[in-house]
Amino acid sequence: MGKNFLKDETGVNVVVEYIFTLIIMSVLLTILLMTLNSVISTSDRLVLKEEFDIISNDFAGRITCVSNEIYMNGYTDEHTNTTATGYGLYFELPKLVKGKQYIVNVTYDAATRSGDVIITYEANSGVTSAASFSSVVPVEETFFYSSDAPGHIYYNGSTIVIDLED
């Protein structure tokens, strides 16, 4: 003599219907919140990537500018005297992006006479940006954290490379 609650019209049906409605609404609300979180997270990462692209491209352009200026004003190779010793360019990078520091890594390959400026977010969000530059003058590879102090890109005549100091 089992009772079938789904076909019963005595009031249990209303309770079961209410419970099913609550379960369905909570599942739909959870899906909605997860979707909104995903959209917000994706847009934050896109904005962060765009900011890093701007910073890395600007920095790579400055290195190329210094290299061209040194080359055009007398730099040829390590066997000739240069008039460009001490030439440099000051730069300022944003100290924080989205409230966190970031890492700037400058690499250079003498064989191809090119290098990369790679910016990585310190918060380990997987957001990185890279910009390439071309430099006839060798560039010292360096790695530094963003800071509010102005940096200096300059030609070091004793080592015959472009140095970067933060």
Torsion of CA 53, 55, 61, 65, to 10 degrees: 180
pLDDT 10s digits, 76-94: 555 445 555 567 788 888 8
Q: In 10 A of CB 147, how many CB atoms?
A: 13
Largest CA distance in the chain: 107
Distance CA 104, CA 92 (A): 13
Contact 136, 67 (CB under 8 A): yes
pTM metric for this prediction: 0.70
pLDDT 10s digits, 28-47: 999 999 999 888 878 888 88
What average pLDDT does range 144-158 have in this prediction? 85
